[in-house]
Amino acid sequence: MKTFSNEQALTILKDLIAIKSVNDHEKVVATYLHDLLAKYGIDSEIRTVHGDRANLVAEIGSGKPVLGVSGHMDVVEAKENNWTSDPFTMIERDGLLFGRGITDMKAGLAAVVITMIELHQQGLPKKGTIRLLATMGEEIGEDGSKTLFSEGSMDDVDGLIIAEPSGYSIGYAEKGSMDIKFTSKGIASHSSAPDKGFNAIDALMNFLNDANKIFRDKNIGSDTMGPLTFNTTIINGGAQVNSIPALATAEASVRTVPEYDNQKVIVTLHNLIEKHNQSGAQISFEVYMNAIPISMDKNNILVLQIKKLMEQYTTEEIKINPIAPATDANYLMRGKTHNFPFIITGPGNDTAHQVNESLEKQMYFNFIDIFETLFVEFLEKSILK
């Protein structure tokens, strides 16, 4: 007999949506989950990272093998005026649930926690450990997973499930992600006498044009992940209209692939900047977010197990693909070999970060059932190996 009815599972999700953990306040989410787990006899630890931001770690079972299950507790801003309802009050309409974070990724987080409680109430797992790694700061910086990794929380883990929104598809790899700031310094002068100054904007634009030519080459990419992408997303410069600008900055978002990884991007930028600076520019750059690409075996045991389970809940083709967004796998998977069991799979769709973010209600329930079987199956098969 299940511990939670569907209505109780919805209440947990509704409570999580109501917590405004917009790039902050994950400790409130962690405290809610800590208290929920404690109610059913599961110990957990709230690990403060800084301020009101914390990770949560909990375990059921004991010994090896260890299955890690992860989800992040933060959400992106909602821009509430554009929503048709309060984004932090979960509502249901036509079989869909609406709320900020419903897809990315409080439904996945709730499903994982509910699954652990359901299994614990059944005295499962008999052998092995299921470890919850609930993170702060995934949306910006990934400080939560970085901290868990540095603390050794992944050292003894034998497989990892990140419950990011995939719907009935399976991710086994992801592009890397780099956020880079470029700074161009010039010499100010009156715009009527440009020869007495040096235009920082012109220098920066010339550099960015050359960078685009390099990184948008169709030959730079991966057969499985697609092309490397380089996009300038923020640009600022100048003080007033009649002055030659002495300073300009730009920020770029880069999505990398194993064949052209983060280090290769850094080397390419360094060489290109050196070339431009030899011609009089003064350009420098800072990489302030540096997530490496992750590519694991497409046929690892977790992929095969969850695919078989998903087939019981949908008639759609179950796609097994790399994903474009970066996740906490960037840190949690560091040092793992290519055949390490790993999937990015959870309830959700493509409305993440959008106005009126939504989720099919039945999918939420289905993933609780899928996870309940998957978690135990993985440990049992790993023991037999």
The tokens for 149 are 């990794």
Catalytic annotation, residues: 74, 138
Q: How far apart are CA 252 and CA 259, in angstroms?
A: 20
The tokens for 5 are 């009815």
- Residues forming a β-bridge with 162: 70, 344
Q: Please answer whether residues 44 and 134 qualify as being in contact, where contact means their C-beta atoms are separated by less than 8 angstroms.
A: no
- Residues forming a β-bridge with 176: 256
Q: Please answer whether residues 46 and 34 qualify as being in contact, where contact means their C-beta atoms are separated by less than 8 angstroms.
A: yes
Q: Please answer whether residues 292 and 330 qualify as being in contact, where contact means their C-beta atoms are separated by less than 8 angstroms.
A: yes
Per-residue burial over 215-224, b = 16 or more CB atoms within 10 Å of its CB, e = otherwise: beeeebebee
In the chain, % helix, strand, coil (3-state, to 5) comes to 35, 30, 35
Q: Please answer whether residues 186 and 194 qualify as being in contact, where contact means their C-beta atoms are separated by less than 8 angstroms.
A: no
The tokens for 222 are 């991966």
Q: Please answer whether residues 170 and 345 qualify as being in contact, where contact means their C-beta atoms are separated by less than 8 angstroms.
A: yes
Residue 357, Ramachandran bin (φ over 0: left; ψ between -120 and 50: alpha; else beta): beta
| HSE value, Cβ hemisphere, 13 Å, CA-based, for 198 | 14
Q: Please answer whether residues 331 and 177 qualify as being in contact, where contact means their C-beta atoms are separated by less than 8 angstroms.
A: no
Q: Please answer whether residues 215 and 178 qualify as being in contact, where contact means their C-beta atoms are separated by less than 8 angstroms.
A: no
Q: How far apart are CA 202 and CA 237, in angstroms?
A: 10
